[in-house]
Copies of this chain bind each other. A is one copy, B any other.
């Protein structure tokens, strides 16, 4: 099961807030905000799909993610890589660094990260 595009957007807000009432989530949206019922519908669908859980507090619910952003993304990206880059993360990585505009600072940071990973491999 997967989230749709708009559900992903909402999920992302929820990841940011960690825990939130419907009202809080609605606030995250830029104008023009969607109708509150729209958010509710999405939350219900996401709860049905087991992507969010909630605790009932009075007449409302405090929602929280049931999957971490990290694990959600690993799948997501791996699917992408599988589909478009012959299942080769390396191919994807090189495409990525070539096609996105990273600043020098970001490149340095990334380089350091890679060196650290190389170290750990030994």
A-side residues, CB < 8 A to B, are 8-9, 12, 69-70, 73-74, 76-78, 80-81, 83-84, 89-90, 93-111, 113-115, 117-118, 121
Contacts and interface: CB of A to CB of B under 8 A. Distances in A.
Contact of A99 (B73, B83, B115): B73
Contact of A83 (B12, B95, B100): B12
28 contacts: A8-B84, A12-B83, A70-B95, A70-B99, A73-B95, A73-B99, A76-B80, A77-B96, A77-B99, A77-B100, A78-B100, A81-B100, A89-B102, A89-B106, A90-B102, A90-B105, A90-B106, A90-B109, A90-B110, A93-B96, A93-B106, A96-B96, A97-B110, A97-B113, A104-B118, A104-B121, A111-B114, A111-B115
